[in-house]
């Protein structure tokens, strides 16, 4: 009986250790090529949740997903942090991103996002989304948007 419990505990501890190792290895592989930054994402934001819109309520902390974004040419590949998937969850193309608002986290969002986050309201191919990143990452992101090739439409608020 004791031996069965001991073996079960060892198996569980080993599986948890392997899971954490793979989790860390995935993060390291994403960051390997450089150009990454911590970036939370809220996808498909209802129009009433956007600041300045009619009937806008204070933003809630719901819908935010913590992730890592990586620059890749004219695209940003966004990966969920708490996932084992090797592929990006979202791909944002520079030509399709339109920045419409910039604000600080409010209310419950302050708990859902990193402490120094700035929220950027965007449109991407007609889908409303919000990105939350540090001030330094925001500076780099806006510079990347403005550095679009000649003739490409860029809208940065």
Q: What is the mean pLDDT of residues 8-24?
A: 90
List pLDDT tens digits, range 93-116.
998 999 999 999 988 888 888 888
Asked, for residue 156, whether it belongs to a domain, the answer is: no
Asked, for residue 152, whether it belongs to a domain, the answer is: no
| Domain encompassing residue 101 | 34-146
Considering the domain architecture, whether residues 97 and 61 belong to the same structural domain is answered as: yes
Write down the pLDDT at residue 85.
80
pLDDT band at 59 (very low <50, low <70, confident <90, very high): low
**Total number of domains constituting the chain:** 2
Instruction: Write 148-154 long-range contacts (CB < 8 A, 24+).
Output: 148/74, 148/94, 148/95, 152/94, 152/95, 153/95, 154/94
Looking up residue 72, the CATH number of its domain turns out to be 2.30.29.30
Q: Which of 157, 107, 114 is nearest to 136 (CA)?
A: 114
User: Mean pLDDT for the chain?
Assistant: 84
Measure the CA–CA gap between 113 and 90, rounded to whole angstroms.
19
CB 121 within 8 A of CB 51: yes
Higher-pLDDT residue of 18 and 34 is 18
Q: What is the mean pLDDT of residues 127-136?
A: 93
Asked, for residue 120, whether it belongs to a domain, the answer is: yes
Q: Which of 43-52, 64-73, 82-91 has the highest mean pLDDT?
A: 64-73
Measure the CA–CA gap between 121 and 132, rounded to whole angstroms.
9
pTM: predicted TM-score of the whole model, two decimal places:
0.78
List pLDDT tens digits, range 19-39.
888 878 877 877 777 788 999
Q: What is the mean pLDDT of residues 85-95?
A: 89
Asked, for residue 58, whether it belongs to a domain, the answer is: yes
Higher-pLDDT residue of 88 and 148 is 88
């Amino acid at each position: 009986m004791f031996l069965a419990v001991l073996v079960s505990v060892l198996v569980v501890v080993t599986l948890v250790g392997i899971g954490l190792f793979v989790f860390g290895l995935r993060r390291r592989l994403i960051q390997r090529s450089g150009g990454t930054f911590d970036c939370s994402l809220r996808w498909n934001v209802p129009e009433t949740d956007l600041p300045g819109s009619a009937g806008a309520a204070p933003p809630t902390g719901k819908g935010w997903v913590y992730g890592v974004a990586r620059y890749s040419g004219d695209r940003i590949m966004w990966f969920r942090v708490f996932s084992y998937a090797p592929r990006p969850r979202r791909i944002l193309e520079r030509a399709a991103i339109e920045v419409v608002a910039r604000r600080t986290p409010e209310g419950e969002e302050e708990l859902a996002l990193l402490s120094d986050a700035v929220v950027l309201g965007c449109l991407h191919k007609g889908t409303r989304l919000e990105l939350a990143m540090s001030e330094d990452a925001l500076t780099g992101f806006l510079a990347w948007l403005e550095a679009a090739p000649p003739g490409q439409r860029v809208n940065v608020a």
